[in-house]
Amino acid sequence: MAELGRIILTEQQIQSRVRDLGNEITRDYKNTPFVAIGILKGAFLFLGDLAKQIDTEMCFDFMATSSYGRGTTTSGEVRIIKDLDDSIEGRHVLVVEDIIDTGLTLNYLLEVLRKRGPASLKVCCLLDKPSRRQVPVQIDYVGFEIPDVFVVGYGLDCAEVYRNLPYIASLKT
Ligand code: 5GP
């Protein structure tokens, strides 16, 4: 198992930013019931904490996409492993992602979702690595911009390990 490097974001920093994002989303969706789509598995802790900070009508659905497998670089290939349970036609949709790296996953997902005719489609991600972008994607709510380092914790894994950490750390190289 890869060893942890240094802490990039503490639990306190994450929780404070998640509160701010929740307030922003509450304000923007005050009279607009919406469905939050959590992208599994990485976004499960983030969406759980974020949802507790959202004080307006919302419901949940989940999608799972193929990940990097056991490596730490993108294969460029995106596959839907689990699709939504319900239709999003005519509904306001907020996609909740753990991290945007090259943008390939999100770009593909947004194309798929747009074709299903949502009333609106926005994106909230915890982490953004803008320096790694290969395709432009619009992100409406960003938790933190981080440099080009592979990170784990708070939902993010390395070979399925470390998702349970309450903070975000790099790996020892
Ligand atoms: P993208 O398609 O934007 O390159 O990658 C998005 C997905 O790659 C994320 O949802 C996440 O699963 C994975 N990913 C990208 N960067 C990292 C990272 O630093 N750490 C971990 N654990 N996963 C990452």
Closest C-alpha among 121, 157, 142 to residue 36 = 121
Q: Report helix, strand or coil for 166.
A: coil
**Domain boundary assignment for the chain:** 4-171
Residues of the chain above pLDDT 90, percent: 88
Active site residues: 101
pLDDT for 173 = 79
The single-letter DSSP state of residue 72 is: S
19 Cα–ligand 1 center, Å: 23
The more confidently predicted of residues 30 and 68 is 30
132 Cα–ligand 1 center, Å: 11
Q: Indicate the pairing of strand 141-145 with strand 120-128.
A: parallel
Q: Which helix (H) or strand (E) holds 169?
A: strand 168-171
pLDDT for 123 = 98
Q: Report helix, strand or coil for 8.
A: strand
For ligand 1, say whether the CB of 46 is within 6 Å of any of its atoms.
Answer: no
* Confidence check: pLDDT of 44 > 90: yes
Out of 66-75, 85-94, 124-133, 155-164, pick the least confident.
66-75
103 Cα–ligand 1 center, Å: 9
Atom of ligand 1 nearest to the CA of 39: 10
Determine contact, residues 6/165, Cβ cutoff 8 Å: no
Burial class (CB in 10 A: 0-12, 13-18, 19+), 102: middle
- Average pLDDT for 53-63: 98
Encode pLDDT of 70-120 as tens digits.
455 555 567 899 999 999 999 999 999 999 999 999 999 999 999 999 999
Whether CATH 3.20.20.80 fits 4-171: no
Encode pLDDT of 60-73 as tens digits.
999 998 755 545 55
Query: Among 6, 99, 129, which residue has the most ligand 1 atoms within 8 Å of its CB, making it the best to mutate?
Result: 99
pLDDT for 78 = 79
Per the DSSP assignment, residues forming a β-bridge with 142 are 125
For ligand 1, say whether the CB of 156 is within 6 Å of any of its atoms.
Answer: yes
How far the first Cα of the chain sits from its last, in Å, is: 12
Residues of the chain above pLDDT 70, percent: 94
| pTM of the predicted model as reported, rounded to 2 decimal places | 0.94
